[in-house]
């Protein structure tokens, strides 16, 4: 297990290094300059600004300095917000995004598991078909379409919830709902399959034969075992939540990291784009790493297959 | 226990020739025929297939048949709600030419023409733009899936077939690539190369082919130790022939399934890019960029977002349904 974990850890570092390098050189290729209104600035002024950001040095020097700073956890300073450090910017913005992601994950997982279990227990009935249709719809309808519809019907037409912005729990409800649709749908689909398989196994029959109530069998014996493989879809889920926050935060004007990222893209704020990219990637790679290790701990079969290589 | 009376008429003479028992009465089916039979039984998959065909036909022919082009502006006809002949008399359908306040804008402004899906703020016909956008979205989806398919088959095939050190190196490369979040690569790539059909497609391919390569490799690894491969090799078949004639045809099921899942996710990614300002640039349109444009005026002209949003959701749904059905039909073992 230790060897497997170490192997994964090394891959994680290589991947991060490649991402950091690719990000740096792609940003160097970018058209556009951080200098606003450059025609109005005299060549001397331009030179001072470029020097201030270290953009006058040769690219390899910039690259080495960038990597060195990265190791120290310094992601540079923003062009757009008067030299504010990118790490500080990310720190300020991460709150709402993390809250939305977390709420969507918790809500989505609970509803998804319930939906999946009900579909499996009522296998091949109208309830099952209804849940299956809902799940396919949830996977197919893009989150921005769902978010837009929610905003229009619940916010604008019915005026039940605030349309946008970030000012208390009721402002988080619609974005959370829009984000959780995909989570609900994919967990429900997954849960249904796993549950059907588990419910058909012999130990469930034994439990029933011993006279345990239907409810007890499903939740104590069935659900526990069916839930283990859910860990495997946490990775794709994390990616989806990340993609989701970029769009959903735009729609609901949430002052989160995703909204900041999109704004920086449109303003050519390279350090923020680079910093956020590396932050997102590191987060993603870390989630995958944790998922792999957790799964190895829980299911010995994976550990053996991984360790023998 | 009461004993049953056995009488002679309960018995029947056995068939004289035992060979008849083994006779095959039904015509034998090929793999694809068999899969098609199973697919036809799946209502969702058939619905998906029909909708994909309908949307594809509309995407090809609707912009051609309309006398308005996707970029033709007519400011005097701007912001018209949808109005379709015949359907306009059915009140609960949103095709009666009435705006949010229930006023028939066509009559008020004295416009004789019918815009089936209405017009946008520059007076461009949404009917033409929607189907033109569907064309671009489909094109990007299919192109990305095809390139993924080609790279994935070649890479996965070589890696799986040769095994050993070659496989080891190729798999390490894949493992690093898999760790990179798709989304980040796509965004960076498009920032550097201006948004367009080709750059968006290429951005998705960079990390997209990995899934296909992994699946092909897994299948090839499993198949290459089969006896019929040994037989072919004994007969002196070349590596290329064994891969092309014996291995790939047996991997075709998983390949089709993966491709069918790639297309909707590529369509979705393109739409997502439009939403964060990196999509197709106007006057070009894709379903994603139409939804994004429409979203900006959702409070006053909801039809601008609702119609493209409906088409893109339907398209992605149809591909997902068909892919699910194909998975069940092509590989009954994977049935969910």
Positive or negative, the CA dihedral B325, B326, B329, B334 is negative
Condensed to tens digits (0 to 9), the pLDDT of residues B284-305 reads 888 888 888 888 887 778 888 8
Return residue ranges of chain A for CATH 1.10.3720.10.
Answer: 91-253
Of residues A291 and B170, more confidently modeled? B170
Which CA distances in Å does A113 have to A83, A119, A135, A191, B299? Answer: 46, 10, 12, 6, 35
Of residues B290 and B332, more confidently modeled? B290
Query: Which among A142, A151, A258 is the top mutation candidate for probing chain B, defined by the most B β-carbons within 10 Å of its own β-carbon?
Result: A142
**One CATH from 3.40.640.10, 1.10.3720.10, 1.20.1740.10, 3.90.1150.10 for A91-253:** 1.10.3720.10
Name residue B98's beta-bridge partners: B104
Condensed to tens digits (0 to 9), the pLDDT of residues B227-253 reads 888 899 899 888 888 888 888 888 888
List chain B residues with CB under 8 Å of A15: 176, 179-180
Q: Do B276 and A12 touch (CB under 8 A)?
A: no
Condensed to tens digits (0 to 9), the pLDDT of residues B114-173 reads 777 877 777 788 888 889 889 999 999 999 999 999 999 999 988 988 888 888 888 888
Which range of A68-77, B9-18, B211-220, B239-248 scores highest in mean pLDDT? It is B211-220
Q: What is the pLDDT of residue B146?
A: 94
Name residue B83's beta-bridge partners: B96
- Please compute the mean of the pLDDT values over residues B60-89 and round it to a whole number: 77
Q: How does the average pLDDT of chain B come out, rounded?
A: 83
Q: What is the pLDDT of residue A206?
A: 87
- Tokens 């072919």 found at: B232
The CA distance from A245 to A254, in Å, is 9
The CA distance from A147 to B82, in Å, is 23
Of residues B16 and B58, more confidently modeled? B58
Cβ-contact A160, A154 below 8 angstroms: yes
List chain A residues with CB under 8 Å of B333: none
Q: What is the pLDDT of residue A306?
A: 45
- Please compute the mean of the pLDDT values over residues A25-30 and round it to a whole number: 78
Query: How far A248 CA lies from chain B's nearest CA (Å)?
Result: 10
Q: What is the pLDDT of residue A307?
A: 41
Q: What angle do CA B227, B229, B231 make, to 5 degrees?
A: 70
Q: Do A140 and B316 touch (CB under 8 A)?
A: yes
Quote the pTM value: 0.83
Could you count the other beta carbons within 10 Å of the beta carbon of residue B53?
Answer: 11
Could you count the other beta carbons within 10 Å of the beta carbon of residue A114?
Answer: 15
User: Which domains can be identified in chain B, with CATH numbers?
Assistant: 50-67+129-334 (1.10.3720.10)
Task: Please state the ipTM of this predicted complex.
Answer: 0.81
The CA distance from A146 to B313, in Å, is 10
Helix, coil or strand: residue A247: helix
Q: What is the pLDDT of residue A308?
A: 37
Q: Do B180 and A281 touch (CB under 8 A)?
A: yes
Q: How does the average pLDDT of chain A come out, rounded?
A: 81
Condensed to tens digits (0 to 9), the pLDDT of residues A226-257 reads 887 787 787 778 777 887 888 888 888 888 88
Residue B13's pLDDT band (cuts 50, 70, 90): confident
The CA distance from B328 to B336, in Å, is 7
Q: What is the pLDDT of residue B319?
A: 93
Among B63, B67, B334, CA closest to B215: B334
State percent of chain A over pLDDT 90.
5
The answer to whether A245 contacts chain B (CB < 8 Å) is no
Cβ-contact A180, A108 below 8 angstroms: yes
Q: What is the pLDDT of residue A302?
A: 57
The structure tokens listed for B197 are 């059909």
Q: Which of A52-56, A126-130, B323-327 has the lowest mean pLDDT?
A: A52-56
Q: Kindly report whether the peptide bond that precedes residue B283 is cis, defined as omega within 30 degrees of 0.
A: yes
Residue B27's pLDDT band (cuts 50, 70, 90): confident
Phi and psi for A232 in degrees, rounded to 5? -65, -30
Q: What is the pLDDT of residue A38?
A: 57
Q: What is the pLDDT of residue B336?
A: 42
Cβ-contact A152, B302 below 8 angstroms: yes
Taking only residues 12 to 31 of chain A, the set having a beta carbon closer than 8 angstroms to any beta carbon of chain B reads 12, 14-15, 18-19, 22-23, 26-27, 29-30
Find how far residue A288's CA is from the centre of its chain: 11
The answer to whether A10 contacts chain B (CB < 8 Å) is no
- Residue B23 predicted with pLDDT over 90: no
- Tokens 């007969």 found at: B235
Name residue B96's beta-bridge partners: B83
Residue A303's pLDDT band (cuts 50, 70, 90): low
């Amino acid at each position: 297990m230790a060897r497997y974990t170490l192997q994964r850890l090394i891959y994680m570092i290589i991947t991060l290094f490649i991402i950091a390098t690719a990000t740096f050189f792609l940003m160097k290729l970018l058209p556009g300059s951080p200098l606003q209104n450059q025609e109005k600035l005299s060549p001397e002024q331009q030179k001072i600004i470029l020097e201030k950001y270290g953009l006058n040095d040769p690219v390899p020097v910039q690259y080495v300095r960038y990597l060195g700073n990265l190791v120290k956890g310094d992601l540079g300073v923003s062009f757009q917000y008067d030299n504010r450090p990118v790490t500080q910017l990310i720190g300020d913005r991460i709150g709402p995004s993390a809250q939305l992601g977390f709420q969507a994950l918790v809500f989505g997982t609970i509803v998804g598991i319930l939906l999946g279990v009900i579909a499996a227990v009522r296998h091949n009935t109208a309830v099952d078909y209804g849940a299956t249709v809902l799940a396919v719809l949830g996977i197919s309808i893009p989150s921005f379409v769902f978010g837009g519809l929610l905003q229009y019907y619940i916010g604008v037409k019915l005026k039940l919830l605030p349309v946008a912005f970030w000012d208390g729990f009721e402002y988080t409800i619609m974005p959370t709902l829009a984000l959780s649709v995909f989570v609900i749908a994919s967990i429900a689909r997954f849960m249904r399959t796993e549950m059907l398989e588990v419910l058909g196994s012999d130990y469930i029959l034994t439990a029933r034969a011993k006279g345990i109530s239907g409810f007890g069998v499903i939740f104590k014996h069935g659900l526990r075992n069916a839930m283990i493989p859910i860990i495997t879809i946490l990775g794709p889920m994390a990616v989806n939540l990340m993609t989701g926050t970029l769009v959903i935060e735009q729609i609901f004007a949430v002052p989160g990291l995703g909204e900041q990222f999109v704004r920086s893209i449109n303003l050519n704020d390279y350090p923020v784009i680079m910093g956020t990219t590396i932050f997102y990637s590191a987060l993603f790679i870390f989630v995958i790493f944790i998922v792999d290790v957790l799964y190895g701990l829980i299911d010995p079969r994976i550990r053996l297959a991984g360790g023998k290589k | 226990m009461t004993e049953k009376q056995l009488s002679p008429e309960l018995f029947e003479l056995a068939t004289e020739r035992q060979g008849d028992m083994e006779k095959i009465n039904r015509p034998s089916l090929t793999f694809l025929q068999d899969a098609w039979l199973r697919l036809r039984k799946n209502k969702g998959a058939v619905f998906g297939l029909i909708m994909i065909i309908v949307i594809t036909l509309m995407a090809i022919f609707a912009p051609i048949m309309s006398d308005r082009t996707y970029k033709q502006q007519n400011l005097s006809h701007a912001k018209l709600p949808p109005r379709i002949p015949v359907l306009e008399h059915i009140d609960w359908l949103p095709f009666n030419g009435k705006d949010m306040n229930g006023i028939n804008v066509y009559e008020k402004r004295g416009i004789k023409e019918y815009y089936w899906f209405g017009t946008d703020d520059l007076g461009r016909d949404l009917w033409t733009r929607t189907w033109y956008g569907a064309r671009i979205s489909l094109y990007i989806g299919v192109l990305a899936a095809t390139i993924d398919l080609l790279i994935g088959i070649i890479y996965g095939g070589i890696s799986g077939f040769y095994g050993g050190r070659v496989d080891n190196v190729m798999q390490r490369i894949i493992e690093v690539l898999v760790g990179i979040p798709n989304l980040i690569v796509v965004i960076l790539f498009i920032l550097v190369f201006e948004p367009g059909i080709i750059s968006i497609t290429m951005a998705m391919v960079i990390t997209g082919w990995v899934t296909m390569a992994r699946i092909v490799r897994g299948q090839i690894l499993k198949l290459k130790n089969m006896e019929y491969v040994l037989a072919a090799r004994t007969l002196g078949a070349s590596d290329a022939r064994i891969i092309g004639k014996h291995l790939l045809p047996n991997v075709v099921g998983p390949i089709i399934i993966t491709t069918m899942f790639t297309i909707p996710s590529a369509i979705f990614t393109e739409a997502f890019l439009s939403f964060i300002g990196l999509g197709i640039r106007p006057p070009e349109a894709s379903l994603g960029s139409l939804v994004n444009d429409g979203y900006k005026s959702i409070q006053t002209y909801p039809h601008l977002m609702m119609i493209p949003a409906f088409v893109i959701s339907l398209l992605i749904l149809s591909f997902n349904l068909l892919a699910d059905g194909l998975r069940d039909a092509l590989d009954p073992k994977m049935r969910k």
